[in-house]
Amino acid sequence: MIEPLQKHNAAQIAQLHIAGIPTGFISSLGKKFVAALYEAIAESPYGFGLVYEADGRVVGFVAFSTDIKGLYKSIIKKNVISFGFLLCGKLFSFQTIKKIFETLFYPSRSETQELPKAELLSIAVAETERGKGIAKTLIRQGLEECCSRKIEKVKVLVADFNKPANILYQKIGFKQISQIENHGIVSNVYVVSTDHFSKTY
């Protein structure tokens, strides 16, 4: 069963995110922060997501932004104090502060490449449920939702070293446009039309 991402899903989504993307900067900020972030995405007019449920638990999710710059602004404006409390123990690290600023200014840097504003932010599937086509199903429905919102194209950033993820997006039909460096990691930038699946199936 696929349902919209909602606040009450956030804790399970945070667990999936950290387990599925363990080396990511967001995961390093802790489960409480990640859960709060997905709550904020669910509430933002510039974000949405989908969850895949099986036997009453979330076993996969995907999160999108219809406008990455607008998403960051809306989240910071509404959650800056609560996020500050959640990060208070980590903000004394220069590396953490540096990475936070890199994250916040990434949308402005991506604008110089004339990339789509809409972005597939993250996706993860429980290890026990992989190989069943859940990721593809979530991406397909997410793109269909973007299309219904009059969004023509969506981008996604994938770490160059993450070969399985790169293969997944290429296989689905995403086309590599460029590369961008964030947090010292080189990521491949892929773009796909939101009506891709309706054209190919």
Q: Is residue 106 part of a domain?
A: yes
Q: Is residue 107 part of a domain?
A: yes
Range of 102's domain?
2-148
Q: Is residue 200 part of a domain?
A: no
Q: Is residue 77 part of a domain?
A: yes
Q: Is residue 167 part of a domain?
A: no
Q: Is residue 36 part of a domain?
A: yes
Three-state secondary structure of 26-49: CHHHCHHHHHHHHHHHHHCCCEEE
Instruction: Please determine, for residue 54, whether its predicted confidence score (pLDDT) is greater than 50.
Output: yes
Long-range pairs of 25-31 with CB within 8 A, sequence gap ≥ 24? 25/99, 25/103, 25/183, 26/122, 28/96, 29/86, 29/87, 29/90, 29/96, 30/86, 30/90
Q: Are 120 and 139 a contacting pair, CB within 8 Å?
A: yes
* Number of compact structural domains in the chain: 1
Q: Is residue 157 part of a domain?
A: no
Specify the pTM.
0.83
Residue 86 sits in a domain whose CATH number is 3.40.630
pLDDT (tens digit, 9 = 90+) per residue, 172-181? Answer: 999 999 888 8
Residue-level pLDDT at 28: 79
What mean pLDDT do residues 128-147 have? Answer: 94
What mean pLDDT do residues 39-65 have? Answer: 93
Q: Are 178 and 189 a contacting pair, CB within 8 Å?
A: yes
Instruction: Please determine, for residue 73, whether its predicted confidence score (pLDDT) is greater than 80.
Output: yes
pLDDT tier at 81 (50, 70, 90 boundaries)?
low
What mean pLDDT do residues 1-11 have? Answer: 93
